[in-house]
Amino acid sequence: MLKVGLLGAGRIGHVHARAISAHPGSALVAVSDAITENAEKLAAEYGIAARSSDEIIADADIDAVLIATSTDTHSDLIEASTAAGKPVLCEKPVDLSLERAVACQAAVHKAGKPVMIGFNRRFDPNFGAMKAALDAGEIGKPELLSITSFDPAPPPVSYIKVSGGLFRDMMIHDFDMANFMMGGAPDTVTAVGRSIVDPEIGAAGDVDTAVVTLTYADGRLAVIKNSRRAVYGYDQRVELLGSDGLLQAQNMLENTVVKSTAAGVTGAKPTYFFLERYMPAYTAEWDAFVSAVTNEAAMPVSLGDGVDALRMAEAATRSAKDGMPVRLADVG
C-alpha cells in the first residue's frame, strides 16, 4: 500500500485525492495547500492530516508525493521530493521557464527518483485505443496528425496573466499528445496566434486562438488548433492519416439521445470540460503511476516528456511572436 502525500488542495487536487483514495494500492495520508483552510477542508473529507509541504516531503513514512500546486512551485517541490527519496507525480507543466525545468531535470537525475508528469490525456481510453491501433499498424505508416483542442470558455484574464500564455498553459497538452502519437518530438514548430475571442486576452499579451504546424525529420507533419472558446463544450479530437488509413478519436458526448424534429436531428453536446471528459483518465493515470512505482518500472510519462512539451511551447511562443519557424534544437 503506497502511502501518498498530496501537495495542493485545489480543484485538481480534489480529483487526485479521489483517485488516490479509491485505488486499492494506495492511500492518501496527508495533504498540504498554500491556503491552510483548503488543506484542512480536503483533509477533513478524507479523515487525514493537513500538514505543510515541507512536513509531508520530510516524512519518512510517506512513500510518494503528488504535486498539484500552482505551476511556479512545481520545480522546487519536484526537487525537494525526489531529494527526500520520494517518487513524484506532478501536474503539467513542469515549469513556465524551460531553463528552470531543465535544471530540475538535472537535479532529479542526480536524486535518482522517478518523476511522472500528469499529462492525463495519454490515459484517456479513446486516445489509448487510437494509439494501440496505430502501434498495431492498422493505418500503416503515420503521415499527418491533426489535433483539435478547444476549451468551452476562456479562464479569467487574471489567470491568463500568470498562465505563461496559451502555448505553455493550454497547448502544452496537445504538444504532449503529438509526442505521444508520433513517438517523439518534432524538428520545427511554426505558430500563428491571435486574440479574436476576447480582446482583453490580447491586452494581457496572450492569444486565444492558435494554429501550430510541426515538422518531423522523416517528413511527417502535424497541426494543432487551439481556441479558448467553443460554446458547445470541450472539443477534443485527434486524427492521424497514415499510409493505410485514418484514425480518429472523436468527442465523448453527454448522452446518446438523438431528437429528430422539424428543426433537424439533434444530438448531445461534448462532455463539458476536462473534469467530465477526463475523469476516467485521471483514474488510469494514477493507476499507471502506482503500478510503475510498485514494479520499479519506467514512468509512462517522464519528466523528459514534460520538458519536451515545454520546449515546444517555448518554440511556439517565439514563433508566434516573430512569425518564423523555430527549430526545437535552437530552444533552451
245 binds a copy of itself (CB under 8 A): yes
Q: Whose grid coordinates read 492530516?
A: 49
Rounded distance between C-alpha atoms, residue 66 and residue 70, angstroms = 13
Least Å distance, CB 187 to a copy of itself, is 11
Q: Are 54 and 74 contacting, i.e. CB atoms less than 8 angstroms apart? A: no
Contact pattern for a copy of itself over residues 151 through 190, marking x by CB under 8 A: ---------------------------------------x
Instruction: Tell me, by CB under 8 A, how many residues bind a copy of itself.
Output: 69
Establish if 232 lies at the interface with a copy of itself (CB under 8 A): yes
Q: Does the footprint of a copy of itself cover residue 143 (CB under 8 A)?
A: yes
Given a contact cutoff of 8 angstroms between Cβ atoms, the answer to whether 146 and 213 are in contact is: no
Strands 49-50 and 326-327: unpaired
User: Does residue 316 belong to the site contacting a copy of itself (CB under 8 A)?
Assistant: no
Identify the three-state secondary structure at position 331: coil
Separation between Cα atoms, residue 148 and residue 237, nearest integer Å? 5
Sole binder of a copy of itself in the list 36, 70, 248, 291 (CB under 8 A): 248
304 scored as a contact of a copy of itself (CB under 8 A): no
Residue 12: count other Cβ atoms within 10 Å of its Cβ. 18
Residue from 34, 49, 102, 192 binding a copy of itself (CB under 8 A): 192
Reading phi first (left if > 0) and then psi (alpha if -120 to 50, else beta), residue 112 is in left
- 267 part of the interface to a copy of itself, by CB under 8 A: yes
Give CA–CA dist 165/97, Å, rounded.
12
* Sites of contact with a copy of itself (CB under 8 A): 22, 125-126, 129-130, 133, 138-139, 143-144, 146, 148, 150, 190, 192, 194-197, 209-211, 213, 215, 218-221, 223, 225, 227, 229-233, 235, 241, 243-270, 323-325
